[in-house]
Amino acid sequence: MEVLRPKEIETHPGDSLVRWARGQLEIARQILDNPGGGLLFATQTIGQVKAALSERDAERWGDVVALLERAEDAAVRREFDSAQQLLGEASAKLSEIPTNSEAAP
Asked if the model's pLDDT at residue 41 lies above 70, the reply is yes
Contact 15, 100 (CB under 8 A): yes
Asked if the model's pLDDT at residue 85 lies above 70, the reply is yes
Give the dihedral sign, CA 82/88/93/94. positive
Contact 91, 18 (CB under 8 A): no
Q: Give a yes or no: residue 102 inside a domain.
A: no
**Residue 31 CB neighbour total at 10 angstroms:** 16
pTM: 0.80
Name the domain count of the chain.
1
Q: Give a yes or no: residue 103 inside a domain.
A: no
Domain coverage including residue 56? 16-97
Q: What is the pLDDT of residue 7?
A: 55
Q: What is the pLDDT of residue 95?
A: 84
Confidence tier at 35 by pLDDT (50, 70, 90): confident
Taking only the tens place, the pLDDT of each residue in 42-53 is 999 999 999 999
Taking only the tens place, the pLDDT of each residue in 6-26 is 555 566 656 788 999 999 999
Q: Give a yes or no: residue 69 inside a domain.
A: yes
Q: What is the pLDDT of residue 105?
A: 41
